[in-house]
């Protein structure tokens, strides 16, 4: 064993130990490993930060931004409501939800896919009268399985592809090279989860799992000319709203409010429906019936009527820089707030501050006034829309308290279509070989910024920088592991002592070792450590390296035994009160299924 091999093995052992210890964040450990390699002379100083420009790293960052566009525009919400059944038993509901999660995870960040569908999963669990965990764990595992089907589905795929391009000279894998083995694996896993897996999840009662309850909001929704609601009888609209737990309180036509209108009344374009709904269900209600929030107009549209500006708080009322990058915020009106006893029209909320009052929640009581003339009381919850800086200033000036942050998405048909078209075009360009994946998705990000599906100021917020640093730092370390010959040495030891020269047994060992390691440390880190070993094993056996690299990609993604192996497993740890040992009950059978399905599919799709 050479001096360089001893050094790189010592650095990797220390790195893995720090990953397992978990005291320091993964990106800190990876950066430390990279600097150690530079100081030891294993990585040239000029090449130390080349990983930040690596196509795999650029692609990960760009996919995260495009995923934000799909999320914020409401495109995923539309797809969710179109795909998921509103009736049926647990098997059908979980099957539909997990299938949707797997599809989304193939083309967007799988952590983002889980975050988007978690509220839907909690609602589904409530409808099916199941503990949330029996839906959340299947959802998390399905999103992990979906990531194995495409190049961009999960960081390990991109790392393995980049390692192949750097070390073999054969170039990276194509967009759907992973599909040949990943799709059958995902289908088998989804079938197991829907039919049996969810039944193995332990029931953990966790009060308040669905988050804090702010009560129902009272909001006004305008019927558009092309709205499905136009021409419908009110009782038909109420029936559809009832499925979402919402109801029509009154109807406004030509500025005349009709309380408890007849169910036989035909709704017309231009009517305003006063709807009582939970804030999480608002996007679904609006999209399903083709409505738009009546108060969500451009700030310069005026307040509708004049009002007094007396007693305006100090600092408020000055010229405010307005932006079309609008956000939503929930505010609680404090007892001493200057808003108490005043309405949005009284303070000229829209024309003077550039803000919109979209909805009000008040202790379950139904107000009879319109939103813009409703006298605000202490304790009211206000759903506000506007520029983030202006909202922050307004909150401070008027003595309000912002609620804990929640993802509140009001659907925008145009932006949803645009965000979807950009993602489809980026995937198609990469899949057809018109552009390299990094270039294709970078072009998609620029298009998203230009067309405002992702506001420019939100682009850098959409990127998970610890993941980017982790990938960029570990790529040179993995290269040093391979170039020093240490990976070949370990591969020979592994194959000589256990596989005894049998390529199929060697492939199974690489897959199993990767799966076990990824349950104990970050999946991207596992891929970076195991890719050189997989390549060394293939070289030592004299077989095609692609089969072994694919085994590493699949094994690094399939973390089902612990809450720390994958971010999605960690995300569901709290909502249902899971314990560390709860994951293996469904995860262990799923791991065995992965081995049983992946091995023949790898040999069939990538012959040795």
Tens digits of per-residue pLDDT, 136-174? 899 999 999 999 999 888 889 988 998 888 887 788 898
CA terminus-to-terminus distance, the chain: 29
Whole-number percent of the chain with pLDDT over 90: 21
Q: Name the pLDDT band for 317 (thresholds 50, 70, 90).
A: very low
405 or 142: which carries more pLDDT confidence?
142
pLDDT surpasses 80 at 342: yes
Contact yes or no for 95/197 (Cβ under 8 A)? no
Indicate whether 187 pLDDT > 90: yes
Mean pLDDT of the residues in the chain: 80
Coil, helix or strand at residue 502 = coil
Q: Using the 8-state DSSP alphabet, how is residue 234 labeled?
A: H
The pLDDT of residue 574: 56
Lowest mean pLDDT: which of 20-29, 139-148, 210-219? 210-219
Strands (E), 83-216: none
Residue 476 has pLDDT above 80, yes or no: yes
pTM, whole model, 2 decimals?
Answer: 0.64
Half-sphere exposure of 37 (CA within 13 A, CB side): 33
pLDDT at 365: 52
Report whether 149 contacts 182 (CB < 8 A): yes
| Cβ pair 183, 149 in contact under 8 A | yes
Of 586, 598, 516, nearest to 556 by C-alpha is 516
Mean pLDDT on 298-322 = 44
> What is the rounded distance in angstroms from the CA atom of residue 55 to the CA atom of residue 454?
22
pLDDT of res. 369 = 61
pLDDT of the residue at 577: 63
Structure confidence at residue 490 (pLDDT):
76
Which is more confident, 554 or 372? 554
Confidence category of residue 255, pLDDT binned at 50, 70, 90? confident
Q: What is the pLDDT of residue 548?
A: 94
Reported as a pLDDT band with limits 50, 70 and 90, residue 307 is: very low
Name the range with the highest mean pLDDT among 157-161, 257-261, 290-294: 157-161
């Amino acid at each position: 064993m050479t001096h360089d091999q001893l050094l790189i093995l010592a650095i990797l052992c220390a790195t893995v130990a720090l990953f397992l210890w978990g005291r320091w964040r993964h990106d800190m450990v990876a950066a430390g490993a990279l600097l150690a390699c530079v100081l030891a002379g294993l990585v040239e100083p000029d090449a130390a930060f080349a990983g930040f420009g690596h196509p795999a790293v650029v692609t990960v960052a760009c996919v995260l931004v495009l995923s934000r566009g799909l999320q914020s525009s409401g495109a995923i919400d539309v797809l969710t409501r179109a795909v998921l059944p509103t009736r049926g038993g647990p098997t059908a509901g979980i099957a539909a939800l997990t299938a949707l999660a797997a599809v989304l995870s193939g083309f967007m960040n799988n952590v983002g896919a889980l975050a988007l569908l978690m509220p839907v999963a909690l609602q589904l669990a409530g409808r099916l009268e199941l503990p949330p965990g029996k839906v959340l764990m299947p959802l998390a595992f399905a999103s992990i399985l979906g990531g194995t089907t495409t190049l961009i589905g999960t960081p390990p795929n991109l790392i393995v592809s980049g390692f192949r391009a750097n070390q073999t000279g054969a170039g990276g894998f194509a967009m759907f090279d992973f599909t040949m083995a990943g799709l059958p694996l995902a289908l088998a896993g989804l079938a197991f989860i829907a039919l049996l897996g969810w039944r193995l999840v332990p029931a953990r009662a966790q009060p308040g799992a669905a988050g804090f309850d702010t009560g129902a909001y009272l909001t006004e929704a305008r019927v558009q000319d092309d709205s499905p609601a136009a021409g419908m009888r009110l009782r038909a609209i109420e029936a559809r709203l009832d499925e979402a737990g919402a109801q029509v309180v009154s109807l406004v036509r030509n500025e005349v409010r009709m309380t408890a209108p007849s169910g036989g009344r035909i709704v017309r374009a231009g009517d305003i429906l006063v709807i009582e709904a939970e804030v999480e269900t608002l996007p679904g209600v609006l999209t399903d019936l083709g409505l738009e929030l009546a108060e969500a107009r451009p700030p310069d549209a005026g307040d509708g009527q004049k009002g007094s500006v007396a007693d305006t708080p100090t600092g408020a009322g000055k010229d405010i820089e307005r932006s079309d990058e609008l956000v939503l915020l929930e505010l609680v009106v404090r007892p001493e707030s200057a808003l108490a006893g005043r309405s949005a029209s009284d303070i000229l909320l829209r024309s003077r501050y550039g803000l919109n009052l979209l909805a009000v929640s008040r202790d379950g009581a139904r107000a009879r006034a319109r939103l813009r003339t409703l006298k605000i009381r202490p304790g009211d919850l206000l759903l506000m829309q506007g520029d983030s800086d202006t909202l922050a200033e307004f909150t401070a000036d008027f003595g309000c308290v912002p609620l804990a942050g929640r993802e509140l998405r009001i659907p925008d048909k145009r932006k949803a279509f645009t965000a979807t078209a950009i993602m489809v075009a980026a995937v198609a360009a990469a899949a057809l070989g018109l552009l390299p994946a990094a270039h294709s998705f970078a072009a998609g990000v620029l298009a998203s910024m230009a067309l405002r599906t992702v506001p420019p100021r939100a682009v850098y917020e959409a990127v998970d920088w610890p993941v980017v640093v982790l990938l960029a730092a570990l790529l040179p370390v993995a290269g040093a592991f391979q170039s020093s010959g240490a990976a070949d040495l370990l591969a020979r030891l592994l194959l000589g002592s256990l596989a005894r020269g049998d390529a199929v047994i060697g492939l199974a060992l690489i897959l199993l070792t990767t799966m076990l390691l990824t349950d104990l440390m970050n999946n991207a880190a596992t891929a970076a450590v195991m890719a050189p070993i997989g390549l060394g094993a293939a070289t030592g056996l004299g077989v095609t390296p692609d089969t072994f690299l694919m085994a590493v990609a699949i094994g690094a993604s399939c973390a089902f035994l612990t809450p720390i192996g994958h971010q999605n497993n960690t995300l569901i740890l709290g909502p249902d009160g899971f314990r560390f040992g709860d994951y293996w009950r469904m995860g262990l059978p799923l791991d065995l299924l992965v081995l049983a399905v992946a091995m023949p599919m790898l040999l069939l799709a990538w012959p040795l």
